[in-house]
Structure 1
Amino acid sequence: MLKIGHRGAKAHVTENTLASFEKALQMGCNAVELDVHVCATGELVVIHDFTVDRITNGSGEVHKLSLNELKALMVEGGHTIPTLDEVFDMVGKKSLVNIEMKGRHTAQPVSDFIERYVAEKGYAYTDFVVSSFQREELQNMSRINPNIPLGILTQASVTQAWEWADEFKAVALHPHYTLLTESNVTKAREAGYKIYTWTVNEPADIARCKALGVDGIISDYPERL
């Protein structure tokens, strides 16, 4: 089973920072989950929200700020906003990386990024999972590069995620843990889908997910997995 650090080790170090991903690896994660947006100058930056207001000393929409402007901001805890390249420089091939396409128009740059790592840096497509809640981004990614493993995120319906997974030839379903049942996990796995569930923090919920036989658990507390 994959032990997936949610935005790194979110419960211990500010989310989506290099230090948080490093902490997740130290805590035994064999996968990390992160969020990407495209900034105004075209780089992929690792941050969850559509604005910088919650976790930095600045304000504004990520897609309207240049990389230099984003780098000048101080993230809570004395960190900076990393680029996707910087995260991969640090994480390397130590873990699988789940890239969530959070911002709009992220499919093409994420595809370009993965293509570059496969062509130039010896990565395999299986070193990545690209997930999203957004139908448009999933659809674009499946069209641009069908080799990239897709995961369908859902907070509402495993059935709907399954329909999208069929349509976009995804490899995994990423349902919220409260949606999981013995029946839908079994059926999904029999259909060949991996189940990566999120964000599971309480020991009893983690134990239930493990008992259901999921393929990976995304948690803010990697040490509990």
Structure 2
Amino acid sequence: MIPDARFVDRVAIHVRAGSGGNGCASVRREKFKPLGGPDGGNGGRGGSVILVVDPQVHTLLDFHFRPHLVAPSGKQGMGGNRDGAAGTDLEVRVPDGTVVLDESGRLLADLVGAGTRFVAAAGGRGGLGNAALASRARKAPGFALLGEKGEARDLILELKTVADVGLIGFPSAGNPLWCRRFRQRNRRSRTTRSPRWCPIWAWSRRARTPLPSPTCPA
């Protein structure tokens, strides 16, 4: 159960970048020259998971329903000195003011400003093919390197929300009732003892966020 049908300001997600493609061990074959030297290509780089600030996004709701973010892996290298294709980066849109934390609560990034980017999980490097491994000492290596594993970790996203409207009133003045009526909710109102968020989708497609404060005695 989520706190509001359209507004979520804290989610736990799992990000996994793509692994690098394996290198290729291949030998060039030509007419009258069956062993023409190594021509195995390198593996492609794995795709990264990147968080990008989008001013048109105002909630973390999408991550509540899709908490696993996985970028594609790179392709394996091929003969003829052909490198494998790189995995496409997975760019995920987040609201302005999103804070990225690790499992222990350590701050990793504070995303402020349109277009701000943060690499949540870096893709693995592609493995070298035998053409790239050739040297004077080993002119025709019969092996290639494996691609690196992509980074994977659990993260917490929090949205720093600024209230558009603040409601202050005497005890039992009806602040929670006002929010409930405005949101067309039938939940029973109680005395507000601590600040509560009251997201309201009104006036435009953007969520307006009144903040009912604790009622104070006269």
TM-score bracket for the superposition, by shorter chain length:
under 0.3
TM-score, length basis structure 2:
0.20
Larger radius of gyration: 2
Higher strand proportion, which one? 2
- Return the TM-score normalized by structure 1: 0.20
Counting helix residues as a fraction of each chain, which structure ranks higher? 1
